[in-house]
Amino acid sequence: MRKKLMITGGLAALLLVLGLGFFIVWQEEAHENESTGPAELAFLFQYDMPPLSAHFSGGYREPFTLLRLEIDPARNNMVSRATIPGMEDLPVDSARIGGVLGASRNLPYLELVDVEVADLRVFGLNPARATVVLDFEEQGTRTIKIGDVAPGNVGVYIQLDEDGAIYLVPVTAVDNFLLTPFDYMNMNITPMSGWPMVFDSMTLGGAVREETGEVTIVANRGEFELTAPFAHELNPLTGPGILHAAFGMIAHRVVAVNPSQADLDALGFDRPWSTLTVEGGEYGGFSILATQPDEAGMVLIYREGVPLLYSIGEHGLLWLDVQFYQLMSPFAASPLLEELAAVQVAVFGGRGGHVHVFEIERDEEDAPIVTTPDLTLDTENFRRFFTTLISATLEMHEDQQTEPGRPVLNFIYRYADGTDLTVSFYESNVPLRHFARVNEGRVFLTPSSYIDRVLGDLLEVWEDRRVEAI
């Protein structure tokens, strides 16, 4: 004999009229293992303690077990430490395992669908999509067989223990039971970092940078500086954000455990598209290999020393294909006047062929005093000239084989600590542009209008005549 019971709003009202008490008593007698709470939330079982273990089998995965190691009574008996036997050496997410075990303390249901079923295949239960065996310390084992999703995605069909009845349970009630061991791996690829970031150096390489060169950034007195492919200041607006993206990377999923070197080589890791190496810092550094994003924008990531292969979306991986010119400051040099002991400006060729040296000293209040061999200059007027001086911008010049033309201008910024920074400008074959070079680094382009402005203001400020701010 088949009994079907569908609980709807109309039926619930009718049952209230006929006597809800009779309905509850009937259901308890028919199924002793059911524990019913309020009408809108019923449970097939509810226990105070999470299971000792949960064993999963069936479907597209090899059988595996979640094992409870410790519980925390202070947190309502939640699992505080758990693992997957056989994977103790892998970086599993113990908190996620504990969460699944904790959620297994109870099993809610929506309705009793069928009591005597002739063909379990109708509900996807022969064979079952998955089988879960929960081992409780006091209540013994509970076996849950998981079938198909009901039409309209209203729930999932299951069977409990040896009871032949079929129940409809919320989709979310069994989602955790359909995970694979990979889903329990720790998805944190790199450690989190606050502000300021703490590391000694960061190097970006790989095939994506073969033409422009490997990029290295080092920490120097709390600031970050570009040191390769040449020395330059980091862009203070965009640089820190790009560097920070190297930390706190979280994978979309784990695609392989313990991949062999042959596996990695077949995926292109023998010649990685992008690499990231961080040295020093709170976690001692890490090294990352990455593939080129696929058509869906997904990137394979392998962290050396971690036996997992991750998949992650390229969005947010700001470091992945960034080039040095995207990290460097757009200005040739940005010294502070207060840091300098002198500024030397040399003019070459038909422009005058003179060297102008501005000495910088400090008064009793540590304010700069600027002098030439003949004059003590108005400090604010010199500041306006100095602001123009350090406004030289650098533009990429792809053809590094072209030799700079005749020198036009040369600046030497002499710091109070005795170090120098040289910026040189040359004639070029590019219309409306001059070549620019910082120290002996690569050649860039700068607007010729900048050269004209500096040359026009130089003689004015040398004679302590007013110059205008840019």
Domain assignments of the chain as residue spans, ordered by start: 9-184, 201-327, 337-462
pLDDT tens string 387-401: 999 999 999 987 766
Give residues with Cβ within 8 angstroms of 385, minimum separation 6: 457, 458, 460, 461, 467
pLDDT at 283: 73
Percent of the chain past pLDDT 90, that is, above it, reads 66
User: Which residue type, as a one-letter code, is found at position 468?
Assistant: E
pLDDT of residue 89: 84
Pairing of strands 106-109, 215-220: unpaired
- pLDDT in the model for residue 95: 84
* Cβ-contact 325, 234 below 8 angstroms: no
Q: Which amino acid is at 237?
A: L
Entry field: residues in the chain: 470
From 186, 178, 234, 194, select the one nearest 82 (Cα to Cα): 186
Listed residue (350, 41, 62) closest to 182, CA to CA: 62
Cα distances from 352 to residues 318, 344, 356, 447, 454, in angstroms, run 47, 15, 11, 20, 13
pLDDT value at residue 437? 93
Q: pLDDT for 57-89, tens place per residue?
A: 987 788 999 999 888 888 777 888 888 998 888
279 near 199, Cβ under 8 Å? yes
- Rounded Cα gap, residues 110 and 41, in angstroms: 8
Residue matched to tokens 């201008």:
409
Q: pTM of the prediction?
A: 0.75
| pLDDT recorded at residue 343 | 97
DSSP H helices, 273-312, are none
* Token reading at 57: 């089998």
Do the bridges between strand 156-160 and strand 140-149 make them parallel or antiparallel, or are there none, so unpaired? antiparallel
Report CA dihedral (16, 22, 27, 29) to the nearest 10 degrees.
Answer: 170
Angle, CA of 386, 388 and 389, to the nearest 5°: 60
For residue 350, the model assigns a pLDDT of 65
Phi, psi dihedrals of residue 274, rounded to the nearest 5°: -145, 145
Spatial neighbors of 18 by CB under 8 A, at least 6 apart, are none
Write out pLDDT tens, residues 421-448: 999 999 998 999 999 999 988 899 999 9
CB of 320 closer than 8 Å to CB of 206: no
